[in-house]
Amino acid sequence: MINLGEGEKVVYEVRKHWYILLVESLVTSALFLVPWVVFFGLDSLNVELSNKEGTLLFFFAVLWLFMTWITFMVIWTNYYLDVWLITTKRIIDIEQFSLFSRDMSEFRLDRIQDVTIEVKGILPTLLHFGDVHVQTAGADRDFIIKGVPNPYKFRDILVKEHDRAAAEVSSKSGTR
């Protein structure tokens, strides 16, 4: 999936903060409860269903549970496959949009011009996650990584690797 160059090693790998998965999963969890609420609601109202109606209701309940389970698995897969890698030569952003849609961006570490951390709100502050904005030379837009756990650690590692890569490039070109 990811081809590393000769002598290139992964220095740091990070996925979105667990809170992002929790928020995305809450709606699916609520939808998962709908058939149970319907069954207990009908039971508490003493609604009598014919055998055919009961079978049909059971079929749709199982179908509903199956669909919500698939939805949760897609959310989890997207969460798990979204990954950012800092290597000794570049940063790689793999963003999974759906099961069959992925975007992979990368740029060399020596092209970094600015790294900005953005932590907005009480929960991101308390849970230590935020967004990292990376500006590169010659790029039309910022490289934005959302929901990074410990964004300050991510920035520190990124800046350290950038400094090392920039020093390596300048020593190869003969300028110091």
CATH number at residue 112: 2.30.29
Tell me the CA distances in angstroms from 171 to 79, 109, 114, 166, 175, one per residue in order: 39, 15, 22, 9, 6
What share of the chain has pLDDT > 70, as a percent? 96
Does one domain contain both 124 and 58? no
Q: What is the pLDDT of residue 1?
A: 63
**pTM: predicted TM-score of the whole model, two decimal places:** 0.76
Number of CB atoms found within 10 A of residue 85's CB: 17
Q: What is the pLDDT of residue 110?
A: 85
b/e for 93-129, b at 16 or more Cβ within 10 A?
A: bbbbeeeeeeeeeebbbbbbeebeeeeeeeebeeeeb
Does one domain contain both 51 and 91? no
In a domain, 142, yes or no: yes
| AA identity, residue 157 | I
Does one domain contain both 36 and 73? yes
- The residue segments making up the domain with residue 96 are 10-16+85-173
Q: Residue 47's pLDDT band (boundaries 50, 70, 90)?
A: confident
At 89-144, the pLDDT tens digits run 989 988 888 888 888 888 888 888 889 999 999 999 999 999 999 988 876 677 88
Does one domain contain both 91 and 56? no
Report yes or no: 117 and 130 within 8 Å, Cβ to Cβ: yes
Does one domain contain both 72 and 105? no
Instruction: Report the domain count for the chain.
Output: 2
Does one domain contain both 90 and 143? yes
